[in-house]
């Protein structure tokens, strides 16, 4: 016996595939717009909309900072953001992977003053083109300072850096090892660190 209370239309987006996060009577959700929204959970009215450099498909992680609350998320261009959860004002933006196909699909995990971010890619799509010099992307997990966005450490799923392995039938250089993107949010075992 559920009844519709309200609906929200995503401006400038042909699709919205980010999972909403609900905290403090607000809904935080990203879109392909590319924008992230803070909505009133009871009415659907918009508190703010914050523009991003790329579509956002991660859930939004919200946590306390020294002066209030921050919302953390990633986009499909490998950028991680922190915005003021109350106003939507950008606090910082950091690109955690320079590969042109890098993207962030898993919600960042906030633990204390650290933000853990995983990186995946769509290199396999570009690699389907025989003229593409594939494949150099390696999945990774990065730990960022939640206050500044500074990368504290980065660990790759494949330790070895890609190197030339052979040329394809078009004479294009191919690279390896590569791959092993991480598409989901990291879990943190606090007891065992």
User: In this predicted model, what pLDDT tens digit does every residue of 17-27 receive, in sequence order?
Assistant: 889 999 999 99
Q: Distance between CA atoms of 138 and 158, rounded to whole angstroms?
A: 6
Three-class SS state of 178:
coil
| Residue, of 68 and 104, whose pLDDT is higher | 104
| Tokens read off for 19 | 């999972």
DSSP assignment, residue 133?
-
Q: Distance between CA atoms of 59 and 30, rounded to whole angstroms?
A: 7
User: In this predicted model, what pLDDT tens digit does every residue of 29-57 receive, in sequence order?
Assistant: 999 989 999 999 999 999 999 999 999 99
Structure confidence at residue 33 (pLDDT): 85
Structure confidence at residue 66 (pLDDT): 78
Omega prior to 24 cis, within 30 of 0: no
User: In this predicted model, what pLDDT tens digit does every residue of 141-160 receive, in sequence order?
Assistant: 999 999 999 999 999 999 99
Average pLDDT, the chain: 93
In the predicted structure, residue 14 carries a pLDDT above the cut 80? no
Q: Residue 15's pLDDT band (boundaries 50, 70, 90)?
A: confident
């Amino acid at each position: 016996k559920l009844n519709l209370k309200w609906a929200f239309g995503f401006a400038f987006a042909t699709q919205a595939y980010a999972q909403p996060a609900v905290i403090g009577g607000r809904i935080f959700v990203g879109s392909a717009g590319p924008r992230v929204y803070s909505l009133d959970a009871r009415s659907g009215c918009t508190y703010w909309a914050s523009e991003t450099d790329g579509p956002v498909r991660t859930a939004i992680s919200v946590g306390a900072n020294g002066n209030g609350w921050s919302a953390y998320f990633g986009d499909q261009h490998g950028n991680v953001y922190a915005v003021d959860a109350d106003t939507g004002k950008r606090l910082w933006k950091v690109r955690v992977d320079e590969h042109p196909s890098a993207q962030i699909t898993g919600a960042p995990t906030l633990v204390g003053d650290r933000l853990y971010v995983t990186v995946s890619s769509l290199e396999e799509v570009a690699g389907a083109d025989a003229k593409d010099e594939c494949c150099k992307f390696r999945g990774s997990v990065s730990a960022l300072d939640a206050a500044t966005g500074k990368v504290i450490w980065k660990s790759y799923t494949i330790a070895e850096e890609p190197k030339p392995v052979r040329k394809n039938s078009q004479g294009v250089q191919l690279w390896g090892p590569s791959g092993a993107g991480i598409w989901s949010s990291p879990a943190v075992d606090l007891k065992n660190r």
